[in-house]
């Protein structure tokens, strides 16, 4: 089963069955996205687990995400940490066993740009087909919803992305075979993943370089989907 | 087509990878601005493994997506026998350019999107904007990158021994010119009404930076959790854009630019997909046109 049952998660970081892992991802196209935000390893794995699930069952198998209900969690092959919630609980299903907030033992990566660049996405107006298939008298290329566009997005070449985790190397490696791109405009070829390397070893506590609940912290996400309000609470940021 | 029927078609949604290599048999011009009267090649700034930077020409994945969308739009209007003048501007924009947001609202109409993407496979394949929703498609199209020494570090394994892999990108760049013909001083002048004064000259040389014939590019097309109808749509589009035995990329295609030989090293186009796609369009023609109308109302 790839889905996590609500209310079942306990702290398993110290369990001997999990191994410390170092995950390295190399991109061969520029990354388009907000470089001020960390790149989350468990976020990438959650996307891969979603693809794995839809491969097996189709998207119609999953319920839609709702703002006031906990989002689904997938088994990512990672150990889990628990903490007391530091913010209001919107849905108990978002909590682990004993009412604890929880997340996956995987660090965040802070991208360091090797070079800043920009990518352009163009929207070509369909003038020819409009001439033929509509009865409109004119089409304004510079105004209105159907205008031509050449949108420039800031992008960056970044070095390798490294995540430290505690988990099952086989499950993590299997999921990451589905990691095709990171960042925005992946459907236009950007942020393409060229290589993923999962190596057993490293410091067992290195996963802690991530957001974790802290009463005096700023509101941030604790696990994927990071934007979802049931995942947000005061946290201390990664270092 | 009901939601129940749609769910039955969505049993498994595999990921598919279609790598392809294009070898130019005509100059390719994929432009980005001008300098004087020279249209410049679009380039990608890249960082090499030693940390130095350079720029290499490429053909954008964005333009490949447009070629696929364009092919599917033409197939749809031809298959359904859409009359000239028979569509709204919004419908043409949806089919050829992916549509636009025309309303405000924060509620995503899931069932509606499910129905539209299944009825109009191009929308499920490429994504679209309609009313207040932006819906992601299943297709990812790589940029087509030049096989050259600057890109050697990111060449896929099957191209590692390509003869161009050790050559600099500059070896594959060139410039071509065209001439806008001036009728002044030719027999056409006799058709000009007497008393009119011809401009001194309308002759003009224009130039394009190009990738030279023989240059090779590689990329990939990927389907993430695509429904069977979206998979067929991709293969139908590839069937259409390679129908002449070649594929055209970049600009100035009507002037003979951009013709390439395409090879698919991991197996190519499903030959039966185009017929299945056409059968889908024929079977649901009225519902498809109604859905397009609904999406662009």
Q: Where along chain B do its domains lie?
A: 3-173+210-295
**Within a domain: A146:** no
- Terminal C-alpha separation, chain A: 34
| Domain-embedded: residue A2 | no
CB contact under 8 A, B87 and A139: no
Closest in B45, B47, B225 to A54, CB measured: B225
Is residue A23 a part of any domain in this protein? yes
CB contact under 8 A, A189 and B60: yes
Q: Is B111 helix (H, G, I), strand (E, B) or coil?
A: helix
pLDDT for residue B4 = 37
In the predicted model, is pLDDT for residue A185 greater than 90? yes
- The position carrying tokens 């109409």 is B109
Domain membership flag for residue A189 = yes
Query: Per the CB < 8 Å rule, is A51 touching B87?
Result: no
Instruction: Name the residue among A29, A64, A133 with its Cβ closest to that of B77.
Output: A133
Write the pLDDT tens digit of every residue in B163-213: 999 999 999 999 999 888 777 777 666 666 666 666 566 778 889 999 999
* CA–CA min distance A160, chain B (Å): 11
Q: What residues of A are in contact with residue B154 (Cβ under 8 Å)?
A: 28, 194
Least confident interval from A218-222, B109-113, B182-186, B271-275:
B182-186
Answer whether B101 sits within 8 Å of A189, measured CB to CB. no
Average pLDDT over chain B, rounded to an integer: 89
pLDDT value at B2 more than 60: no
Return the minimum-mean-pLDDT range out of A9-23, B4-18, B41-55: B4-18
Nearest residue, CB atoms, A123 vs list B88, B97, B110: B97
Residue A144 lies in a domain: no
Question: Is residue A68 included in any domain, yes or no?
Answer: yes
**In the block, which residue shows the tokens 């027999």?**
B187
- The whole-number pLDDT of residue B43 equals 96
Tell me which chain B residue has its CA closest to the CA of residue A29.
B46
CB B72 within 8 A of CB B236: yes
The CA distance from B235 to the nearest CA of chain A, in Å, is 17
Position B219 scores a pLDDT of 96
The separation between CA A76 and the C-alpha centre of its own chain, rounded to angstroms, equals 12
Report the chain A residue with the minimal C-alpha distance to residue B131.
A145
The structure tokens 């049993």 sit at B11
Burial class (CB in 10 A: 0-12, 13-18, 19+), B64: buried
- State the best of B224, B228, B231, B293 to mutate against chain A, taking most chain A CBs within 10 Å: B224
Q: How far is B24 from chain A (nearest CA, A)?
A: 21
β-strand partners of A219: A234
Could you give the 3-state DSSP secondary structure of residue B105?
Answer: coil
> What's the pLDDT at B178?
87
Please, which pLDDT band fits residue B224 given cuts at 50, 70 and 90?
confident
Report strand pairing: A149-158 vs A113-123. Answer: antiparallel
**Domain count of the fold of chain A:** 1
Which of A27, A51, A145 is most worth mutating to test chain B (most B CB atoms within 10 A of its CB)? Answer: A145
Report which of A97, A59, A93, A92 is spatially closest to residue A73, judged by C-alpha positions.
A93
Rounded CA gap, B10 and B13, in Å?
7
Q: How far is A51 from chain B (nearest CA, A)?
A: 7
What residues in A contact B88, CB-CB < 8 Å? 134
Residue A166 forms part of a structural domain = yes
Residue A15's nearest CA partner among A82, A80, A89 is: A80
Q: Are A24 and A197 in contact (CB under 8 A)?
A: yes
Single pTM value for the model: 0.84
Q: What is the pLDDT of residues B77-132, one digit of tens each?
A: 999 999 999 999 999 999 999 999 888 887 777 788 889 999 999 999 999 999 88
Look up residue A98 and give its two tokens: 């004993």
How far away is chain B from the Cα of A122, in angstroms, using its nearest Cα?
A: 7
Say whether pLDDT at B15 is over 80: no
- A97 occurs within a structural domain: yes
SS3 B55: strand
- Specify the pLDDT at position B108: 75
Q: Which residue has the tokens 């109009």?
A: B120
User: DSSP strand E in B215-264: where?
Assistant: 216-223, 247-248, 259-263
Confidence check: pLDDT of B16 > 80: yes
Contact (CB, 8 A) for B6 and B115: yes
| DSSP helix/strand/coil, B281 | helix
Cβ distance B12 to A126 less than 8 Å, yes or no, reads no
The domain of A47 spans 19-30+39-111+160-236
Tell if the CB–CB gap between B12 and A157 is shorter than 8 Å. no
Flag if A125 and B110 touch (Cβ within 8 Å). no
**Digit-coded pLDDT (tens) for A46-96:** 999 998 998 888 767 788 888 889 999 999 999 999 999 998 999 999 999
């Amino acid at each position: 089963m790839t889905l996590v049952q609500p209310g079942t998660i306990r702290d398993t970081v110290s369990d001997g069955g999990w191994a410390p892992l170092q995950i390295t991802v190399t991109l061969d196209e520029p990354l388009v996205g907000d470089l001020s935000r960390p790149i989350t390893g468990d976020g990438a794995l959650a996307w891969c687990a979603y693809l794995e699930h839809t491969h097996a069952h189709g998207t119609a198998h999953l319920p839609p995400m709702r703002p006031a209900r906990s989002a689904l969690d997938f088994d990512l092959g990672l150990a889990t940490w628990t903490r007391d919630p530091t913010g209001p609980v919107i849905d108990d299903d978002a909590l682990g066993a004993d009412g604890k907030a929880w997340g996956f033992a995987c660090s965040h990566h802070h991208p360091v740009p090797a070079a800043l660049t920009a990518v352009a996405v163009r929207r070509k107006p369909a003038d020819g087909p409009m001439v033929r298939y509509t009865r409109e008298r004119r089409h304004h290329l510079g105004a209105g919803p159907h205008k031509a566009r050449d949108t420039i997005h800031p992008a960056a070449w970044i070095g390798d992305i490294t995540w430290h985790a505690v988990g099952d190397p086989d499950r993590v490696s299997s999921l990451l075979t589905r990691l095709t791109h990171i960042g925005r405009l992946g459907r236009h070829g950007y942020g393409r993943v060229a290589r993923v390397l999962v190596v057993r070893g490293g410091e067992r506590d290195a996963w802690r370089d991530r957001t974790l609940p802290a009463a005096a912290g700023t509101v941030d996400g604790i696990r994927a989907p990071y934007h979802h309000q049931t995942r947000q609470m005061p946290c201390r940021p990664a270092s | 087509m009901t939601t129940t029927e749609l769910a039955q078609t969505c049993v498994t949604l595999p990921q598919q990878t279609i790598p392809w290599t294009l070898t130019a048999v005509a100059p390719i011009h994929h432009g980005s601005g001008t300098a004087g009267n020279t249209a410049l090649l679009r380039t990608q700034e890249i960082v090499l493994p030693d940390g130095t930077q350079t720029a290499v020409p490429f053909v954008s994945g964005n333009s490949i997506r447009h070629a696929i969308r364009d092919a599917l739009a033409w197939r749809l209007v031809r298959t359904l026998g859409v009359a000239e003048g028979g569509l709204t501007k919004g419908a043409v924009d949806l089919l050829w350019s992916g549509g636009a947001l025309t309303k405000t609202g924060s509620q995503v109409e899931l069932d509606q999107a499910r129905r539209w993407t299944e009825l109009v496979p191009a929308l499920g394949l490429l994504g679209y904007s309609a009313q207040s929703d932006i819906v992601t498609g299943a297709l990812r199209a790589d940029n087509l990158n030049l096989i050259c020494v600057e890109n050697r570090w990111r060449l896929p394994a099957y191209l590692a021994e390509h003869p161009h892999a050790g050559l600099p990108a500059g070896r594959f760049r060139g410039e071509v010119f065209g001439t806008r013909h001036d009728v002044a001083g030719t027999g056409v002048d006799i058709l000009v009404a007497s008393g009119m004064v011809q401009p001194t000259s309308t002759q003009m040389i224009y130039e394009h930076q190009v990738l030279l014939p023989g240059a090779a590019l590689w990329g990939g097309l990927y389907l993430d959790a695509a429904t069977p109808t979206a998979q067929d749509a991709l293969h139908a589009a590839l069937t259409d854009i390679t129908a002449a035995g070649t594929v055209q990329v970049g600009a100035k295609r009507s002037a003979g630019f951009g013709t390439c030989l395409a090879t698919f090293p991991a197996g190519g186009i499903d030959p039966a997909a185009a017929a299945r796609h056409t059968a889908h369009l024929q079977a649901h023609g009225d519902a498809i046109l109604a859905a397009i109308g609904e999406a662009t109302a």
